[in-house]
């Protein structure tokens, strides 16, 4: 195998990774991808080649935490690719704050900045940074790149980024940041090929998964998004509530006497689809259930998505195209059908057969608004940025090719 670049997406209970071949004159080529899941409980390591063939699927009992997961990953990669050289490591980092408007090569100063942003993403940032620090020890001479979920939204206007609180609070970093930016950036890069007729128009992209948000784009730039200061705002999600009256939070503190940690746990881990249904945070389970609470959770998910499409359409001054992506968006024909049906007033006409086939176009030829399913590929986006920043590729030879990740997990 040629020299390669490694992409890492570290979470609280899982470590996702992808190996990309060193490019010549073409796009980075996926060699393999996998994950270590169940960290801290029953860790399992899986690795597949780009064509889906299994390379490794085994328990990883030695993995007790994120650093153990990196050690285990390094051992497996050495056994598979021992004759190759790691050219660079790209990381998904949830929060780049207002300062980092694009990917950056990681230095001690950058790492210190990112640690200061941890209070803005307490459940994600620590794991992202722990992975960077672990790689620094394992591969001290290999450069690393941080790619931020917030950067894509820095094109939003000052009004769209505003949180209407006193200036002295806003000056301490309280603003609307937005997230899922790597996913939106990938979709924006694919629009000219997949849907050229809407590529530079008014497009709403619905990233629907366990974490869910929408982005309004014009000329493939972010105009507005449903996420805000944190990844709690906007749409109903697997375990997060989405938009909620701030007075509810005050009530939890003042009247129910809950602690800050208890409220944090409720908002991040016990709300959303799980909180409404009391059954599951997995859309597949809820769609298969005949329980009225499960049906209510699905109805609310669709309701909130439809409401946000209307709001973002108003911000854009109209809509030319709607794109579904991520786990639920790519895989659930039923959720796409319900959202498109509730948004028919915009001129959306769904092609039922195309919707079942997952498109890519799932609207009729006469639909005033075209609707698409485009699989996202955040790992490839990170690989692209890593190659560019480290001088391994150039913008000229970085060709955009469709993602090969159809069928991504619902938990994306």
Q: Is the pLDDT of residue 399 over 50?
A: no
Say how many Å lie between the first and final Cα of the chain, rounded.
29
pLDDT at 25: 55
Kindly tell me if the per-residue pLDDT of 323 is higher than 80.
Answer: yes
Q: Is the pLDDT of residue 107 over 60?
A: yes
Please tell me the predicted confidence (pLDDT) of residue 410. Answer: 38
Q: The tokens 């490839």 sit on which residue?
A: 380
Q: pLDDT for 159-216, tens place per residue?
A: 999 999 999 999 999 999 999 999 999 999 999 999 999 999 999 999 999 999 999 9
Q: Mean per-residue pLDDT for 294-301?
A: 98
| 197-373 and 4-148+378-389 share a CATH fold | yes
Residue 368 has pLDDT above 80, yes or no: yes
| 393 touches 23 (CB < 8 A) | yes
**Spans of all domains in the chain:** 4-148+378-389, 197-373
Write down the pLDDT at residue 24.
61
**Residue 5, token pair as written in the block:** 């670049």
C-alpha pair distances (Å), 335 with each of 188, 278, 405: 22, 20, 20
- Report the sign of the C-alpha dihedral through residues 370, 376, 378, 383, in that order: negative
Which residue did the predictor score with more confidence, 395 or 318? 318
CB 366 within 8 A of CB 166: no
pLDDT per residue over 208-230, tens digit each? 999 999 999 999 999 999 999 99
Confidence at 400, pLDDT banded by 50, 70, 90: very low
Strand 14-21 to 29-37 pairing: antiparallel
CATH of domain 197-373: 3.30.420.40
Question: 332 with 287: CB under 8 angstroms?
Answer: yes
Q: Is the pTM of this model over 0.75?
A: yes
Cis amide linkage into residue 193, ω under 30° from 0: no
DSSP 126: H
Mean pLDDT for 311-323 is: 98
Stretch 261-267: mean pLDDT, rounded? 95
Confidence of residue 409 (pLDDT cuts 50, 70, 90): very low
Residue range 350-368: mean pLDDT, rounded: 97
What is the dihedral angle through the alpha carbons of 150, 370, 375, 222, rounded to the nearest 10 degrees?
-10
Instruction: Provide the pLDDT for residue 7.
Output: 96
Question: 17-38: per-residue pLDDT in tens?
Answer: 999 987 665 678 899 999 998 8
Strand partners, 37: 14, 44
CA angle centred on 367, ends 365 and 372, rounded to 5°: 80
4-148+378-389 folds as Nucleotidyltransferase; domain 5 (3.30.420)
Please report which confidence band the pLDDT of residue 392 belongs to, taking 50, 70 and 90 as the band edges: confident
Q: Distance between CA 308 and CA 324 in Å, rounded? A: 14
- As a whole number of angstroms, the distance between CA 378 and CA 183 comes to 5
pLDDT of residue 405: 36
Distance (Å, whole) CA 184 – CA 222: 8
Q: Which helix (H) or strand (E) holds 187?
A: helix 181-194
The catalytic site residues sit at 149
- Residue-wise pLDDT tens digits, 36-53: 988 878 888 999 998 889
What pLDDT is stored for residue 402 in this prediction? 42
Query: Which pLDDT value is given to residue 264?
Result: 93
Region 398-411: what's the mean pLDDT?
A: 40
Ranking 64-73, 336-345, 346-355, 401-410 by mean pLDDT, the lowest is 401-410
Please tell me the predicted confidence (pLDDT) of residue 224. 98
Digit-coded pLDDT (tens) for 56-76: 888 888 888 888 888 888 888
Mean of pLDDT over the chain: 91
Q: Is the pLDDT of residue 128 over 70?
A: yes
């Amino acid at each position: 195998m040629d020299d390669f670049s490694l992409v890492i997406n570290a979470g609280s209970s899982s470590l996702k990774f992808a190996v990309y071949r060193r490019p010549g004159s073409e796009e980075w080529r996926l060699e393999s991808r996998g994950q270590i899941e169940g960290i801290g409980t029953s860790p399992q390591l899986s690795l597949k080649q780009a064509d889906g063939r299994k390379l490794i699927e085994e328990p990883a009992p030695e993995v007790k935490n994120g650093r153990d997961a990196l050690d285990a990953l390094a051992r497996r990669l050495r056994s598979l690719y021992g004759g190759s050289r790691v050219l660079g490591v790209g990381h998904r980092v949830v929060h780049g704050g207002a300062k980092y408007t694009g990917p950056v090569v990681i230095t001690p100063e950058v790492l210190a900045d990112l640690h200061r942003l941890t209070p803005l993403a307490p459940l994600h940032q620590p794991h992202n940074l722990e992975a960077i620090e672990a790689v620094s020890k394992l591969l001290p001479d290999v450069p690393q790149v941080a790619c931020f979920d917030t950067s894509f939204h820095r094109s939003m206007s000052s009004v769209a980024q505003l949180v209407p609180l006193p200036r002295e609070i806003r000056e301490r970093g309280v603003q609307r940041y937005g997230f899922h930016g790597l996913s939106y950036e990938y979709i924006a890069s694919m629009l000219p090929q997949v849907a050229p007729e809407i590529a530079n128009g008014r497009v709403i992209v619905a990233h629907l998964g366990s974490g869910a948000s929408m982005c309004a784009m014009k000329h493939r730039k972010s105009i507005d998004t449903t996420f805000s200061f944190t990844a709690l705002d906007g749409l109903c999600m697997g375990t997060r509530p989405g938009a909620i009256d701030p007075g509810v939070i005050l009530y939890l503190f003042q009247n129910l006497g809950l602690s800050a940690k208890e409220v944090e746990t409720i908002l991040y881990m016990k709300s959303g689809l799980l909180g409404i249904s009391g059954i599951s945070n997995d859309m597949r389970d809820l769609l298969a259930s005949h329980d009225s609470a499960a049906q209510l959770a699905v109805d609310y998910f669709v309701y909130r998505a439809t409401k946000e499409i209307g709001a973002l359409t108003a911000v854009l001054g109209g809509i030319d195209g709607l794109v579904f992506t991520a786990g639920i968006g790519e895989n659930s024909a039923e959720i796409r059908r319900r959202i498109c049906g509730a948004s028919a007033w915009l001129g959306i006409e769904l092609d039922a057969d195309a919707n079942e086939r997952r498109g890519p176009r799932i609207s009729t030829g006469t639909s005033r608004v075209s609707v698409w399913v485009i699989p996202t590929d955040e790992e490839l986006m990170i690989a692209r940025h890593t190659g560019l920043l480290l001088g391994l590729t150039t913008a000229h030879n970085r060709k955009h090719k469709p993602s090969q990740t159809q069928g991504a997990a619902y938990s994306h």
